[in-house]
């Protein structure tokens, strides 16, 4: 018999209500021992919520006044008998009740164990279980929508279809190879080739969605660079609408990297304000400079800022040299106090680049930056509702391995290999898809995945 598991499923700390969840064969028996309400627990109807008290049967001490829900298997999250106790939120009371439940025969659940059981008992597949983690951890609206889509099984459904097609193909080849005398229609190399081609393009298309998927999950990485005092911190503050970065008129006040998540039309953007890329004798600042260079290398876009009042100086050019080969936009700031000559000079220097003129002080031009940022993302049209989106690097790796296997099968055919050799690659392809849905996944991968969950999930 599987252990009966229990955990506090609400976040640590004080809240209005705290929920303890119990799952497994003993959960109803345990609840009967500790719950006293108008109706005996065993007579409570499944999927109802009931008022009563939690009383320690050995000391007769009342621990809390609660609402208890009963969910009879298999119609529960884990597909096991589940009891949920809604307590008053204090951690002391919650721990006391959890202790009592353990004394009565349950054990404390490991992180993610409820969800792991939901997976092992077949209620959700592996990619859906992973979507639960993503949903919990999502930082933005778009990120949580993508996770919810995955939780609803859109990705799984597609991949299962493809995997079934591959398996049918393998079966057909095996019958052809092993029982040539049977009167089923024999499969030819050409037929295998023709079946694999559309699968390859489908897998390729799914793989391609990862670029957007990653951005949705993690946010677009945007790094702001420029020499001291051009207005980097001011821009970060303006775009984020908060006052996180320190704005001063002493050059070099941004000594380190400041990160801020913002949301423009539902698109998550991680803005990074740097100390500027430039050589310096100051040790503290030099570390900042190294980190700035690293941030630029990892960014999806860099915003290079120029001070329109001061015009271009050699330091601007040095900084621009670090980012000119990256995806970038150039911002001419402080147009409110820039002379026409300086503006012309800057326009001329950056005539082959995307130059946006703004004044953070007056607010002019800021919306052009926002358009530029959202435009990067799927050319501005974020269609999340019905699209499959790969957001998980593990899934992306498996999809790519699947693609390589299909490619190998196709080139094995081109190279005149016999059908039974080609099936080896097709089997690999099916195996990799199964690694995403959990149909061919091993214990170690499972443990890796579920340990990322929080306790009580
Ligand atoms: N109190 C509480 N809230 C919660 C959860 C929970 O476990 N407990 N969930 C946990 O993550 C999420 C809800 N997800 C759930 C998904 C399926 C089932 C469930 O019982 N499914 C059954 C019966 C469905 C039905 O009655 O139609 C099934 O699929 O067989 C429960 C919760 C979020 N909120
Ligand atoms: N007139 C005018 N002043 C601005 C504008 N944008 C920023 N400033 C001012 O320029 C000064 C420097 O701005 P910051 O945002 O601190 O510049 P920074 O690039 O982050 O500076 P460091 O941290 O030194 O690298 C502040 O006094 C701002 O108020 C603008 O559009 N017009
Ligand atoms: K600053």
Q: What is the pLDDT of residue 252?
A: 57
- pLDDT tens figures, 355-382: 999 999 999 999 999 888 877 765 434 4
Nearest to 54, CA basis, from 84, 38, 31: 31
> pLDDT at position 279, please?
52
| Atom nearest to 47 CA in ligand 1 | 26
Say whether pLDDT at 244 is over 80.
no
Q: Which protein residue's CA is at the shortest distance from atom 10 of ligand 1?
A: 77
**Is any atom of ligand 1 closer than 6 Å to the C-beta of 17?**
no
State the pLDDT at residue 86.
Answer: 98
What is the Cα–Cα distance from 200 to 157, expressed in whole angstroms?
A: 17
Distance between Cα 219 and ligand 3 center (Å): 24
* Residues pairing with 141 in the sheet: none
The answer to the question of whether 230 is labelled as a binding residue is yes
Q: Does pLDDT of 447 surpass 60? A: yes
Instruction: Give residue-wise pLDDT tens across range 421-440.
Output: 999 999 999 999 999 999 88
**Closest Cα to atom 32, ligand 1: which residue?**
77
Is 70 exceeded by the pLDDT of residue 65? yes
Question: Is pLDDT at 106 greater than 80 in this prediction?
Answer: yes
Lowest pLDDT segment from 90-99, 113-122, 196-205, 371-380: 371-380
Q: Is there a contact between 454 and 6 (Cβ–Cβ < 8 Å)?
A: no
CA distances from 352 to 223, 330, 339, 344, 383 (A): 21, 11, 22, 14, 32
Distance 297 CA to ligand 1 centre (A): 43
d(CA 28, CA 172): 49
Q: What is the reported pTM?
A: 0.71
Q: Is 111 known to sit in a ligand binding site?
A: no
With the most atoms of ligand 1 within 8 angstroms of its CB, the residue from 23, 74, 77, 131 to mutate is 77
Residue 379 annotated in ligand binding: no
pLDDT for position 380: 37
Verify whether ligand 1 is closer than 6 Å to residue 74 (CB atom).
Answer: yes
274 is in an annotated binding site: yes
Residue 134 — pLDDT band, cuts 50, 70, 90?
confident
CA angle 228, 232, 238 (to 5 degrees): 150
Give the range with max mean pLDDT: 70-79, 142-151, 318-327: 70-79
Q: Which residue would you say has higher pLDDT here, 449 or 197?
A: 197
User: CB neighbours of 305 closer than 8 A, spacing ≥ 6?
Assistant: 224, 225, 226, 230, 231, 232, 235, 330, 331, 333
- How close is the Cα of 231 to the center of ligand 2, in Å? 3
Cα dihedral 342, 345, 350, 351, rounded to 10, equals 130
The structural domains of the chain, ordered by start, are: 5-109 (3.30.1360.120), 132-209+390-450 (1.20.120.430), 219-377 (3.40.50.300)
Q: Check the annotation: does 123 bind a ligand.
A: yes
Nearest CA to ligand 2 atom 9: 231
Residues contacting ligand 2 via CB (< 6 Å): 226, 228-234, 247-249, 251-254, 276, 333-334, 336-337, 359-361
Q: Assess whether pLDDT exceeds 80 at residue 170.
A: yes
**Is there a binding annotation on residue 84?**
yes
Q: Which tens digits make up the pLDDT trace of 249-269?
A: 656 555 556 778 787 776 778
The answer, yes or no, to whether residue 286 has pLDDT greater than 80, is: no
For ligand 1, the distance from its centroid to the CA atom of residue 77, given in whole angstroms, is 4
- The number of beta carbons lying within 10 Å of the beta carbon of residue 239 is 21
In 219-329, alpha helices (H): 232-240, 283-298, 314-323
Look at the block and give the residue holding tokens 């990485």.
Answer: 221
Mean pLDDT estimate for the chain:
88
């Amino acid at each position: 018999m599987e252990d009966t598991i229990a955990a506090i499923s609400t976040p640590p700390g004080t809240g209005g209500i705290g929920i303890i969840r119990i799952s497994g064969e003993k959960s109803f028996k345990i609840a009967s021992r500790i719950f006293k309400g108008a109706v005996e627990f065993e007579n409570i109807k499944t999927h109802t919520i009931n008022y009563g008290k939690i009383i320690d049967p050995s000391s007769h001490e009342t621990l809390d006044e609660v609402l208890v829900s009963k969910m009879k298997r298999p119609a529960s999250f884990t597909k096991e008998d589940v009891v949920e106790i809604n307590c008053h939120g204090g951690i002391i009371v919650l721990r006391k009740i959890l202790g009592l439940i353990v004394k009565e025969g349950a054990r404390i659940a490991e992180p993610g164990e409820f969800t792991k059981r939901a997976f092992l008992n077949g209620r959700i597949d592996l990619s859906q279980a992973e979507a639960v983690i993503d949903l919990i951890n999502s930082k933005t609206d778009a990120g949580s929508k993508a996770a919810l889509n995955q939780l609803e099984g859109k990705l799984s459904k597609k991949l299962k279809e493809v995997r079934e097609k591959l398996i049918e193909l393998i079966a057909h080849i095996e019958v052809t190879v092993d029982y040539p005398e049977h009167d089923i229609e024999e499969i030819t190399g050409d037929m295998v080739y023709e079946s694999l081609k559309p699968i390859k393009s489908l897998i390729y298309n799914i793989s391609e969605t990862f670029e957007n998927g990653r951005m949705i999950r993690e946010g677009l990485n945007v790094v702001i660079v420029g020499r001291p005092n051009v207005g980097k911190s001011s821009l970060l503050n303006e775009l984020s609408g908060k006052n996180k970065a320190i704005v001063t008129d002493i050059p070099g006040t941004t000594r380190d990297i400041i990160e801020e998540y913002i949301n423009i039309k539902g698109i998550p953007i991680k803005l990074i304000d740097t100390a500027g890329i430039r050589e310096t004798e100051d040790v503290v600042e030099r570390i900042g400079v190294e980190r700035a260079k690293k941030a630029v290398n990892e960014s999806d876009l860099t915003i290079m800022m120029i001070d329109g009042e001061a015009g271009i100086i050699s330091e601007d050019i040095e900084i621009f040299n670090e980012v000119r080969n990256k995806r970038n936009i150039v911002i001419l700031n402080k147009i409110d106090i820039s002379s026409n000559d300086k503006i012309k000079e800057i326009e001329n220097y950056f005539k082959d680049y995307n130059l946006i003129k703004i004044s953070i002080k007056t607010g002019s031009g800021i919306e052009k930056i926002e358009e530029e940022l959202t435009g990067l993302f799927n050319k501005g049209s974020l269609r999340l509702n019905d699209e499959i989106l790969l957001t998980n690097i593990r899934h992306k790796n498996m999809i790519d391995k699947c693609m390589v296997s299909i490619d190998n099968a196709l080139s094995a055919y081109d190279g005149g290999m016999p059908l039974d050799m080609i099936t080896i690659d097709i089997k690999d392809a099916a195996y990799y898809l199964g690694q995403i849905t959990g149909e061919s996944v091993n214990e170690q991968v499972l443990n890796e995945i579920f340990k990322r969950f929080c306790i009580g999930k």
